């Protein structure tokens, strides 16, 4: 398990208890790394400076107790910004009805990049498919993308 995944697994439940979720964690640098944690509010409200401060204190305590990072580090907690990454299936479900950008691993009809309204997520025993409605020259087209084929995706928050 990668260090960022270990950190997210440890801080996630405590943040969720306080009404936040971990969107993404990044670690940059070697000797004195910067740990950046992007959070979002579970109530879909905007992330405030107070939210970031509260989450920072909580995460800092957990990281110090767990001692994931040897030596000193800098912790930064922030909002994911206007273009929020979509990573989990629940992210796609939560933001249905919003405009999304999706980049795939493999080609779909000769393309890898799609922009459109998130319509729905369908799950069966073998696959999870994310559906978008995209505007093209011939009108509106519905596109189904296998969740396993998604390289990266984001949604416009505001």
What pTM was estimated for this model as a whole?
A: 0.81
10 Å CB burial of residue 126 (0-12, 13-18, 19+) is exposed
Name the pLDDT band for 106 (thresholds 50, 70, 90): very high
Question: What is the fold, at CATH topology level, of the domain defined by 3-80?
Answer: GMP Synthetase; Chain A, domain 3 (3.30.300)
Q: Which of 76-80, 91-95, 124-128 has the lowest mean pLDDT?
A: 124-128
Name the pLDDT band for 44 (thresholds 50, 70, 90): confident
Q: What is the pLDDT of residue 68?
A: 83
User: What is the C-alpha separation between 24 and 84, in angstroms, rounded?
Assistant: 10
Instruction: Give the residue range(s) of CATH 2.30.30.180 domains in the chain.
Output: 85-156
Instruction: Give the residue range(s) of CATH 3.30.300.70 domains in the chain.
Output: 3-80
Alpha helices of 67-148 — where are they, by DSSP H? 89-94
CATH 2.60.120.1440 at 85-156, yes or no: no
């Amino acid at each position: 398990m990668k260090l960022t995944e270990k950190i997210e697994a440890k801080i996630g439940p405590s943040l969720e208890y306080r009404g936040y979720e971990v969107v993404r964690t990044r670690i940059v640098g070697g000797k004195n790394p910067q740990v950046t944690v992007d959070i979002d509010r579970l109530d879909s409200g905007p992330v405030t400076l107070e939210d970031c401060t509260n989450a920072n204190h909580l995460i800092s305590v957990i990281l110090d107790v767990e001692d994931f990072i040897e030596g000193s580090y800098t912790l930064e907690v922030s909002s994911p910004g206007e273009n929020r990454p979509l990573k989990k299936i629940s992210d796609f479900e939560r933001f249905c009805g919003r405009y999304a950008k999706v980049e795939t691993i493999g080609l779909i009809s000769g393309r890898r990049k799609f922009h459109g309204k998130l319509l729905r997520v369908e799950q069966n025993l073998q696959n999870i498919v994310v559906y978008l409605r995209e505007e093209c020259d011939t009108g509106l087209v519905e596109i189904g993308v296998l969740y396993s084929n998604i390289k990266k995706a984001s949604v416009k928050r505001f």
